Amino acid sequence: MYIKKAFLLATTLAASVAAQGVNCALLGTFNNHGPFNDIWGYTAPNGDEYALLGTTTGTVVIDVTNPSSPVETGWFPWGSSSWRDIRTYGNYAYVVTEATSGVRVIDLSNPNNPTTANTFGTGISSSSHNVCIDVSTGILYLPGSSAGTPAWDLTTNPTNPTYLGLAGGTGNGNYFHDLCVENGYGYGSMIYNGDLRIWDATTFPPTVLSDTGTPGNFTHNAWPNAAGTICVTTDETSGSVIKFFDITNKSNPQPLGQFTPNSNSIPH
């Protein structure tokens, strides 16, 4: 699924580029409802695979089981924003934007005929840059929201979840531009502080274990490897690096190697 998602993202954002990249082959393209800004994936119980593609005006569901012939199965306009983010939990997709309040829920029980299930949290957050779901605990976080980092428990009622409170405070000093929570830890990108923040997410609110500066001092995103021993970050500044950290000790991350993908580009 991850390979197909990578292909779809590459082709939707740069379908006209002749170069295929290293060890990659163009399988198919999808160009409806663009321009695009984010992508996630969903695998149905029968094994069919779907791309959830964020656009500036909505979310489109695409059957990519046959990657050479992607098929649109659902279109959900909602607000108009350059930023839209999507995550899944069970048979539901959760969508946020910086143009609309709350979280929109899309029911993927029948991904060939998806429907809107609900919008929740409208009285708590008027906008959100990102959404994060810890699938092991069923907790949904809204990093980059107008309210700080509010959180909901999806486990009992995934379309109308229980509000837990703020997992992180308000203001630029507490602003997460991106967040990944898995296996009991949170990895947050504090873009205005220029830090990788690691949480102990087994408590609520989570406990801060460490804040580690990233090279460009404008931390855009962070993601751990499956073992939780390495974290990769980018800084959203021109010519910046992709940085690797040893996070074996979550309270004391250690810098490892880095590389510059393009001195004239902004890592994102």
- Name which of 5-9, 91-95, 256-260 the model is least confident about: 5-9
- Phi, then psi, of 108 in degrees rounded to 5: -105, 20
Q: Give the strands of the sheet with 195-200, arranged side by side.
A: 178-182, 185-190, 195-200, 207-213
For residues 109-125, average pLDDT: 97
- The upper half-sphere exposure of residue 192, i.e. CA atoms within 13 Å in the direction of its Cβ, equals 8
**pLDDT score recorded for residue 110:** 97
Is 50 exceeded by the pLDDT of residue 218?
A: yes
Chain Cα centroid distance, residue 65: 22
**Helix, coil or strand: residue 5:** helix
pTM (predicted TM-score):
0.91
List, for residues 51-82, the tens digit of each pLDDT value. Answer: 999 999 999 999 999 999 999 999 999 999 99
pLDDT band at 20 (very low <50, low <70, confident <90, very high): low
For residues 105-122, average pLDDT: 98
- The CB density around residue 265, as the number of other CB atoms within 10 Å, is 11
For residues 204-222, average pLDDT: 97
pLDDT, the chain, mean? 92
